[in-house]
């Protein structure tokens, strides 16, 4: 959609000063990435307001965070100790397919794939022959999660992510960024000044009168979207017709017992609850649709199901799912909640923050051009739409019809891209991974099967083996997974020795 700036000329000024507005997870991850990679070439200033604070949630991650840390040369043990992190091997979904049903989306690979056909085809034939166990029995990460075990393994390691304390993470990244030359300014932004000729942002003004000029501005002001939305007028594409939830309550509790290495997601009548164990406490919350569950019911559902003492009153959050029509406009790049948001069901926001930063570093301009901006926007929007489809899948492919909420999601029209994915899998058992798409075949298959979509056919490659060979193959994979898991220590014991709290 065009904006009033589109006909304006681009200045030829080189980018030497970067101003990051906002110091939540997005702001400090951006400061860390930029200062580590380009701190010697560009000046980096971050402005944040303690008075406004951060959103204060965002504790579950996915394995890609490790790539970001590797780029920055962040040491895992120090990071995990500083953020009280635990290991996350996946997500357990309770009551999503049916009340009383449970499945697991793990970060691991299930079984062994053939170049022609995913393991699911061999498993399907094994089921027909009566020689295959439950699909879950062929995945190391899934079995380890449910038995509360974890260790780093030297060969074919266990694939994992983290649960972390978001406030401690921002603090950790602040120290990191400052050590690479980023400068922090405390203050409330009260004005954003643009140039009438170019539509570029010239400076931001703080409540104490300070004026901070820059060549490139990164909007990390969260849902306020002070620069990209309020100042530059870039519209928000709303996805609430697919993703009904628009509110949440969050509350920390003391930790009941040893932390388990997975997130729990428990479906409710009009939303779902999360449970995220850290080393020092647990994060809990309920995400719900205000059209289907009132605030009092959501709050009491959350408080009534906690298994430990709350550490404070629940905080309420309101949100709208969707994305900016442009992630980068003129000399402003939005990262984090200012750019896009889908609910935390698959813990994808920190990942999208990281993608925004890595893409920005890869496309970092000497002089900003419309071509560079268009390429960046196409990449980010494409990645976000894949994430959106994957999250919608969990709702639509449900057998639940017990409330208006579940009847609505089960019968709604889908994005064409998602409908095609589901149809292909149901008919053929195939999922084809698209380049740069976050979730790979294993994730799609685990969630489709977990939600009750079973493929009608299997690939003829699974018929090449004789029935005894197929039975032996399946048994070997299962025995190997079992042996690996049996050799792992308890997750809590491992953390106490690997990254004890400072």
Question: Of the two residues 120 and 189, which places its CB atom closer to ligand FAD in the complex?
Answer: 189
How far is the C-alpha of 18 from the C-alpha of 280, rounded, in Å?
36
How far is the C-alpha of 40 from the C-alpha of 168, rounded, in Å?
26
Q: How far is the CB of 220 from ligand FAD (least distance, A)?
A: 5
CB atoms within 10 A of CB 310: 14
Establish whether 50 is an annotated binding residue: no
Q: Binding string to ligand FAD for residues 273 to 302, with x set by CB under 6 A, is what?
A: ------------x-x---------------
SS3 256: coil
Q: Are 272 and 287 in contact (CB under 8 A)?
A: yes
Asked if 54 touches ligand FAD (CB under 6 A), the answer is yes
Helix (H) or strand (E) holding 409: helix 404-411
Q: Are 28 and 58 in contact (CB under 8 A)?
A: no
SS3 104: strand
Asked if 323 touches ligand FAD (CB under 6 A), the answer is no
Residues 6+ apart with CB under 8 A from 293: 268, 269, 270, 271, 301, 405
Q: How far is the CB of 310 from ligand FAD (least distance, A)?
A: 16
Question: Out of 20, 31, 32, 55, which residue is the one contacting ligand FAD (CB under 6 A)?
Answer: 55
Question: Out of 57, 117, 266, 393, which residue is the one contacting ligand FAD (CB under 6 A)?
Answer: 57
Question: Of the two residues 20 and 477, which places its CB atom closer to ligand FAD in the complex?
Answer: 20
Measured at the CA of 107, the angle between CA 336 and CA 327, to 5 degrees, comes to 20
Q: Binding string to ligand FAD for residues 204 to 223, with x set by CB under 6 A, is what?
A: ----------------xxx-
Count how many Cα atoms sit within 13 Å of the Cα of residue 286 in the half-sphere of its side chain: 24
Establish whether 350 is an annotated binding residue: yes
Count how many Cα atoms sit within 13 Å of the Cα of residue 160 in the half-sphere of its side chain: 26
CA–chain centroid gap for 29, Å, is: 14
Helix (H) or strand (E) holding 323: strand 322-324
Question: Of the two residues 240 and 478, which places its CB atom closer to ligand FAD in the complex?
Answer: 240
Q: Binding string to ligand FAD for residues 24 to 43, with x set by CB under 6 A, is what?
A: xxxx----------------
Establish whether 221 is an annotated binding residue: no
CA–chain centroid gap for 81, Å, is: 22
Question: Out of 18, 23, 329, 332, which residue is the one contacting ligand FAD (CB under 6 A)?
Answer: 23
Question: Out of 69, 184, 188, 482, which residue is the one contacting ligand FAD (CB under 6 A)?
Answer: 188
Asked if 332 touches ligand FAD (CB under 6 A), the answer is no
Helix (H) or strand (E) holding 333: strand 332-334
Order of strands, edge to edge, in the sheet holding 102-106? 102-106, 90-94, 263-268, 271-277, 282-288, 247-253, 315-318
Catalytic annotation on 75? no
Asked if 387 touches ligand FAD (CB under 6 A), the answer is no
Q: How far is the CB of 55 from ligand FAD (least distance, A)?
A: 4
Q: How far is the CB of 304 from ligand FAD (least distance, A)?
A: 19
Question: Of the two residues 83 and 430, which places its CB atom closer to ligand FAD in the complex?
Answer: 83
Establish whether 222 is an annotated binding residue: no
Asked if 336 touches ligand FAD (CB under 6 A), the answer is yes
Q: Binding string to ligand FAD for residues 157 to 176, with x set by CB under 6 A, is what?
A: ---------x----------
Asked if 22 touches ligand FAD (CB under 6 A), the answer is yes
How far is the C-alpha of 223 from the C-alpha of 300, rounded, in Å?
26
Active site residues: 88
User: Which residues make up each annotated binding site for 7-chloro-L-tryptophan?
Assistant: 88
Site residues (vs ligand FAD, CB under 6 A): 22-27, 47-49, 52-55, 57-61, 166, 188-189, 220-222, 224, 226, 248, 250, 285, 287, 317, 319, 336-338, 344, 347, 349-350
């Amino acid at each position: 959609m065009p904006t009033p700036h589109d006909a304006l000329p681009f200045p030829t000024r080189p980018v030497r000063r970067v101003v990051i507005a906002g110091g939540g997870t997005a702001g400090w991850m951006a400061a860390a990435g930029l200062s580590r990679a380009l701190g010697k070439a560009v000046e980096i200033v971050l402005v944040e307001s303690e008075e406004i604070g951060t959103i204060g949630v965002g504790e579950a991650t996915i394995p890609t965070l490790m790539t970001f840390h590797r780029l920055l040369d962040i040491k895992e043990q120090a990071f995990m100790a500083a953020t009280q992190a635990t290991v996350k091997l996946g997500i357990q979904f309770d009551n999503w397919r049916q009340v009383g049903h449970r499945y697991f989306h793990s970060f691991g690979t299930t079984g062994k794939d053939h170049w022609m056909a995913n393991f699911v085809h061999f498993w399907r034939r094994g089921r027909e022959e009566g020689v295959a166990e439950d699909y879950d029995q062929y995945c190391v990460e899934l079995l380890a999660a449910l038995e509360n075990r974890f260790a780093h393994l030297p060969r074919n390691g266990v694939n994992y992510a983290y649960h972390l304390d978001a406030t401690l993470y921002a603090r950790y990244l602040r120290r990191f960024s400052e050590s690479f030359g980023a400068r922090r300014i405390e203050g409330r932004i009260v004005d954003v000044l643009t140039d009438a000729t170019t539509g570029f942002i010239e400076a931001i003004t703080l409540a104490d009168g300070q004026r901070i000029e820059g060549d490139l501005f990164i909007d990390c002001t969260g849902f306020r979207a002070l620069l990209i939305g309020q100042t530059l007028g870039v519209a928000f594409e709303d996805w609430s017709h697919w993703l009904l939830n628009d509110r949440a309550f969050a509350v920390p509790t003391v930790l009941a017992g040893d932390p388990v290495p997975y997130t729990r997601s428990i479906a409710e009548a009009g939303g779902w609850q999360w449970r995220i164990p850290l080393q020092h406490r647990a994060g809990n919350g309920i995400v719900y649709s205000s059209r289907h569950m009132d605030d009092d019911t959501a709050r009491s559902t959350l408080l009534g199901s906690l298994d430990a003492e709350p550490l404070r009153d629940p905080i309420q959050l309101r949100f709208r799912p969707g994305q900016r029509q442009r992630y980068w406009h003129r000399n402003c790049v939005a990262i984090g909640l200012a750019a896009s948001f889908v609910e935390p069901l698959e813990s994808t926001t920190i990942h999208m923050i990281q993608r925004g930063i890595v893409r920005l570093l890869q496309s970092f301009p000497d002089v900003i051009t419309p071509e560079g901006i268009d390429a960046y926007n196409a990449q980010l929007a494409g990645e976000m739409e894949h994430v959106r489809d994957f999250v919608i899948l969990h709702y639509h492919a449900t057998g639940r019809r017990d409330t208006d909420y579940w009847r609505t999601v089960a019968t709604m029209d889908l994005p064409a891209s998602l409908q095609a994915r589901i149809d292909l899998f149901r008919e053929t058992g195939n999922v084809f991974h698209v380049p740069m798409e976050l979730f790979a075949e294993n994730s799609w298959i685990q969630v489709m099967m977990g939600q009750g979509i079973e493929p009608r056919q299997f690939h003829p490659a699974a018929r090449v083996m004789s029935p005894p060979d197929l039975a032996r193959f399946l048994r070997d994979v299962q025995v190997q997974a079992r042996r690996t898991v049996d050799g792992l220590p308890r997750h809590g014991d491992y953390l106490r020795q690997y990254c004890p709290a400072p």
